[in-house]
Structure 1
């Protein structure tokens, strides 16, 4: 059960672990305690063999995460801020490096560190009213939790510069057109429920194959094609040794849905 005093709650939806930033009164802003909780609970879900995917969302319907907790930042020295920004790497790294798919269910605004948190995820689903932005330059700083690095890799350099230099907000439809989100939920639907339904092929899929595919993509993204193809071969070989692969062949022959066990 979740610690009721924690700024992050955990829910289990079948084979999916759901992390909910539970600070709706602060627009789910990232305080120091919130970052530590995401790191601790994220590690628990990544290491849980019964969890096949992780969904990250915010409480309420107004904000996924509005970014850094500016109230907490008041009075911080430059060194304090440096340490705080460092927590984004140390605490959120477990989700960034997860071999299980991580999906953001963006239930409202995702600004600054909130969008950087969503960019750590492998896939992003947005509510129709969601807004996404990296407004840091309008506040005299730059995105310091990976935004200048991850956003160009997702939407391209020119569009990333447009968002960052102009502090430009994108609505859900435009974010979908830009490739910043993978899906926009239907109007009136719960973005979390819609996300869970959408990722059912992951929750019911072959975890060894999914992990191998994620690692093949992530480790070869910026290497020469020849090396990328060799890495793909290595990860493909992992799947050949799995019982899940044999189960898929049996299920095909028997005209039934395979029952993958992650072995």
Structure 2
């Protein structure tokens, strides 16, 4: 089933929710309303037990997301700088703090805030024509929406080069640096992203949330890992799904996850 607003399309693919940025004529640039729509969709997905993974992509074949809508910014318009719950949910996504996995299918250029949005995703599949850049310093700004965290995803010297020169890298270079998980032909991008979604959603929901948080913390905040590790050991190893996983393995069948 597909539903749409003016700026964001929702499409259900089994247990995956596909969210498509839908401003192709504006290079899918971020407005305040689009930011809130994404935040609302993520919040709803997290509360829906039938949604196991989000796939985030964009319409058109030119741009995934050009970042902040500079026209709206220059005219003093709404660029999503509030503190309402919808906006906060969006920025929680960009920090990688959503409770379910997010897979990005990058169809074109991811620039500035568009790349910052990708940094919150757990896996990135890119079209060969995709490219990535943080050009803010060339515009008298800096990547203030989380782009300076790119050094948690690629080597430090490459992160400094991208942020200080503002130059773009190709999808292939992103793959070589570890930013991108797979590079595919444009026609194969949707299927590749859905394939990743299916492979991820085959794992237990609580296990996925634990892996996502702990792996990220090991890079971004190692001092918190031991405390959160103890928490997740208590939650996951005593869960119904832990019993189901072992039982299904012994019975040589697919597990039926409950998320508890």
For 1:155 and 1:35, how far apart are their aligned partners in 2? Answer: 26
1:91-170 alignment runs, 5 A limit: 91-95=89-93, 96-148=96-148, 150-170=149-169
Cα distance change of structure 1 residues 181 and 8 upon mapping to structure 2, 3 Å threshold = same
Do the aligned partners of residues 42 and 220 (structure 1) sit closer, same or farther apart at CA in structure 2, a change above 3 Å counting?
A: same
- Secondary structure of 1:199's match? helix
Matched, 1:200 2:194: no
Aligned to 1:28: 28
Shift of 1:5: 3.8
Q: CA RMSD in A?
A: 2.3
Per-residue CA deviations over 1:78-115 (Å, capped at 9, x if unaligned) read: xx68x745679624134232111111111111011100
With over 3 angstroms needed to count, the CA separation of the structure-2 counterparts of 1:210 and 1:66, relative to structure 1, is same
In structure 1, the partner of 2:244 is 247
Q: Distance in 2 between matches of 1:54 and 1:86?
A: 24
- In 2, the alpha carbon distance for the partners of 1:192 and 1:184 equals 12
Q: Separation in 1 of the partners of 2:141 and 2:7?
A: 26
- Residues 186-235 of structure 1, C-alpha deviations (whole Å, 9 max, x = no match): x253312211102322222211111122222334544457x624532331
Query: 1:139 and 1:125, CA in 2 relative to 1: closer, same or farther beyond 3 A?
Result: same
With 205-214 and 252-261 compared, the bigger mean Cα shift is at 252-261
> Residues 257 and 91 of structure 1: is their aligned pair in 2 closer, same or farther, counting only changes over 3 Å?
closer
CA displacement at 1:179 relative to structure 2: 0.9
Indicate the larger mover: 23-32 or 150-159.
150-159
Contact conserved, 1:134 with 1:147, CA < 8 A, in 2?
yes
Output the TM-score relative to the length of structure 1: 0.88
Q: Secondary structure at the match of 2:20?
A: strand
User: Partners in 2 of 1:134 and 1:241 — Cα distance?
Assistant: 43
The more displaced of 160-169 and 210-219 is 210-219
Aligned partner (choices 207, 212, 217) of residue 214 of structure 1? 212
Question: Which ranges in structure 1 are unaligned for 5 or more consecutive residues?
Answer: none
Deviation string for 1:164-183 (max 9, x for gaps)? Answer: 11111111110000111122
Which runs of 5 or more residues in structure 2 are unaligned?
Answer: none
Distance 1:29 1:194 in 2: 24
Secondary structure of the residue aligned to 1:215 is helix
